Amino acid sequence: MSSTDQDHPLWEPDNLRRALQAAGVSLWSWNVDSDEFTMDEQGFSHWGLPKGDSVTFEDLSSHIHPADRDRVRNAFTATRAIVGSYEIDFRVMLGEVVRWISARGLGNDSGLHERLMFGVFLDVTGRKQAEEGHELLAGEMSHRVKNLLAIASGLTRISARSTTSAVEMAEVLTDRLAALGRAHDLVRPLPGHQGTAALLGDLLSILLAPYEDMGAFSGRIRVAVPRMGIAEGPATSLALIIHELATNSLKYGALSVEAGSLDVSGTTDGDEVVIVWTERGGPDVEPRNGADGYGSDLVRRSIAGQLGGSIVYDWSTEGVIVTLRIKEERLAG
């Protein structure tokens, strides 16, 4: 270093301290004989300790997260045999607050100066929290992908059993998967603990929007349900049910004619959410044998298995009325 560099303001002690503080870095020395740590003011702040001349390694250990304590003790002891630099990340407890600290230095006893080992503590809490967030997101995405693949596999089997040709199966399966896609687009956290996927009214409106453009007048599909959030799993199951009802209405019911209308209303009844699907203005309806043909095995299994509810069909001559009863706690996930 030249004399000009040495005279630069950067090397003034006060400015060096300012730079270290800005970087969240604190300095320490460890006396390997007496086990004493000496730290600068920021070092004591990192550990949540009052500033003093020195502390022992055991004093610091008592503030390390219990899950990390033995690992850090063993690692610090091992540093005396490490040639070159080392880095140890661990958690410290400041009351109820958890802070991540990275200890960095040079190992090997040959690097000792007057029986002192030197290094720095660096607050890496922000980086660790970001890493944990990425891990949680990756785990959540993996979970969702596995769920969607399992659902797609089930839909493929059901579609294969209920169709008579490869072309018909492809059309039916594509429509069902598209409905899943529309529901999946809504998945997001909601404020106020209303759920973790979508608002019920938003989900129903988006799923039914493609059929709104198929009639002679706008507003032929009306949705009026309580404001409530639903979780990802129930949103997917409900999307499949609504898609099946709408598809059958488009084939045989009110949505098959331009003048037909559909009203989807909802209420709460104790611990259940009641959704009533009412079709009017369509072809004359003939009573069917239960829900077969109109309801489909997919609807029955989804409403009973995934949503813990029931489905009832009223084959009135004016138009079919379908009543879904779903446990409210199942919708919230």
Looking at residue 154, its pLDDT comes to 58
Domain at 129-331: CATH architecture: 2-Layer Sandwich (3.30)
Q: Which phi and psi (to 5°) does residue 253 adopt?
A: -110, -145
Highest mean pLDDT among 105-114, 170-179, 229-238, 270-279: 270-279
SS (H, E, C) 36-105: EEEECHHHHHHHCCCCCCCEEHHHHHCCECHHHHHHHHHHHHHHHHCCCEEEEEEEEEECCEEEEEEEEE
What does pLDDT average to over the chain?
78
Per-domain residue ranges for the chain?
Answer: 3-123, 129-331
The secondary element (H helix, E strand) that includes residue 312 is strand 310-316
| 55-104 pLDDT, tens digit each | 887 888 888 999 898 888 888 777 777 777 788 899 998 888 888 999 88
Q: Which phi and psi (to 5°) does residue 94 adopt?
A: -115, 85
Looking at residue 333, its pLDDT comes to 66
pTM above the 0.85 mark?
A: no
**CB 277 within 8 Å of CB 295:** no
CATH of domain 3-123: 3.30.450.20
- Residue (of 179, 218, 222) closest to 201 by Cα position: 222
| Residues belonging to the chain | 333
Asked if 3-123 and 129-331 have one fold, the answer is no
Q: Taking residues 128-143, what's their average pLDDT?
A: 70
Which residue is listed with tokens 């080392």? 86
Neighbours of 3 (CB within 10 A): 6
Of 25-39, 115-129, 154-168, the range with the lowest mean pLDDT is 154-168
Query: Residue 267 has which token pair?
Result: 């209420």
Looking at residue 265, its pLDDT comes to 95
Looking at residue 9, its pLDDT comes to 57
DSSP for 164-220, please give it.
SSHHHHHHHHHHHHHHHHHHHHT----GGGS-SSEEHHHHHHHHHHHHHTTSSSTT-
Q: Taking residues 2-7, what's their average pLDDT?
A: 54
- CA atoms of 51 and 319, how far apart (whole Å): 80
| 163-208 pLDDT, tens digit each | 788 888 888 788 777 766 766 666 555 455 444 567 888 888 888 8
Query: Residue 196 has which token pair?
Result: 């973790």
Q: Taking residues 258-263, what's their average pLDDT?
A: 88
